[in-house]
Amino acid sequence: MLQVRNLHTYYGHIHAVKGVSLHVKPGEIVALIGGNGAGKSTILKAISGIVRGASGDIILGDEQITHLSSERILKNGIGHVPEGRRLFRGLSVRDNLMLGAYSRRDRARVRSDVGEMESLFPILGQRKRQLAGTLSGGEQQMLAIARALMARPKVLLLDEPSMGLAPIITSQIYEQIRHLNRDEGISILLVEQNARLALNLAHRGYVIETGRIVMEGQSHELKQSNEIQRAYLGKGYREVWE
């Protein structure tokens, strides 16, 4: 479905992503895990065309989308839920959803999709007139995901959906993501610092370190790997929130 081959990106002179290749099959959840500054978010931004000047190939279905504008990439079917959610805080929940469908021209379908989002995330229906900035963190994350879904993407890029959320809220969000994938058939590329969370959800995973993929495999294999247990799952330490 989505294929990335030999991707390189630069911020000025800094070589942030150094030849990454990965793919997402239809109906799959793929996790990118790794520490701060490993280049995970940059990979997502390069795919959705927000970071410009990437070299390599990004292919969606059988179309080259590498050098398209972010508007075209969005229309082609890449939805991006950015890190930190980036909602229109001063606009209503409903307006945020409508703006997610901005790139679409089938107005009638958009209206029914708003209804669909509100049944998928009932809280968004209850709060439709409320300003997005006044929602709780978890509600904001749901709105950010729903807003991206309004563009009817084939692949959803999720950047740190657990960021800044209480563990119980995080697990609710992850349940929603699992549901979207299983019941709505949406392919997902997930970036997450919390490796355990990500690998429990994803089918496959890639481990990124300083702009390179250092390991890849099925989630259950990665979870077993000594290397990952030591570096990312904190084996031997009880995580406080568990």
Partner 1 sequence: MSVYFLHVLILVAIYGILALSLNIIVGFAGLVSLGHAAFFGIGAYLSGLLMISGLGFIEAFILSGVITAILGLFLALPALRVKDDYLAIVTLGFGIIVTLVFMNLDVTGGPDGLVGIPPVMLLGKPLYSKPGFLALTVGILSIMIATVYTLKQSMIGRAWAAIRDNDVTAMFMGINIYTYKALAFITSSFWAGLAGSLYAHYTAYINPHTFSMHTSIKVLAMVVLGGIGSITGSLLGAALLVLLPEVLRPLADYQDIFYGALLVLLMVFRPQGIMGRVKITEMFGRGR
The one among 52, 86, 220, 230 contacting partner 1 by CB under 8 A: 86
Is 78 or 213 the residue whose CB approaches partner 1 more closely? 78
The one among 100, 138, 153, 161 contacting partner 1 by CB under 8 A: 100
Distance of CA 150 to the CA centre of its chain: 14
Binding mask 15-54 for partner 1 (x = CB under 8 A): -----------------------------------x----
The one among 103, 193, 200, 210 contacting partner 1 by CB under 8 A: 103
Which residues in the 119-138 window bind partner 1 by CB under 8 A? none
Is 90 or 185 the residue whose CB approaches partner 1 more closely? 90
Token couple for 13: 């002179």
Name the minimum Å distance from CB 84 to partner 1.
Answer: 10
Helix, strand, coil share (%) of the chain residues, nearest 5: 40, 25, 35
Give the separation between CA 47 and CA 218, rounded to whole angstroms.
Answer: 22
The burial class, CB within 10 Å (0-12 / 13-18 / 19+), for 210 is middle
Cβ contact 82:40 at 8 Å: no
**C-alpha to C-alpha distances, 73 to 22, 44, 45, 48, 223, nearest whole angstrom:** 18, 12, 11, 6, 33
Is 86 or 182 the residue whose CB approaches partner 1 more closely? 86
Nearest of 84, 16, 89, 79 to residue 51 by alpha carbon: 16
71 interacts with partner 1 by CB under 8 A: yes
Which residues in the 143-182 window bind partner 1 by CB under 8 A? 151
Give the separation between CA 43 and CA 30, rounded to whole angstroms.
Answer: 13
Is 11 or 102 the residue whose CB approaches partner 1 more closely? 102
Token couple for 186: 């949406």
Segment contacting partner 1 by CB under 8 A, of 27-35, 94-102, 161-169, 198-206: 94-102
60 interacts with partner 1 by CB under 8 A: no
74 interacts with partner 1 by CB under 8 A: yes
Name the minimum Å distance from CB 131 to partner 1.
Answer: 9
Residue carrying the six token digits 């931004």: 45
Cβ contact 208:181 at 8 Å: no
Is 73 or 165 the residue whose CB approaches partner 1 more closely? 73
Enumerate binding residues for partner 1 (CB under 8 A). Answer: 50, 70-71, 74-75, 80, 82, 86-91, 95, 98-100, 102-103, 151
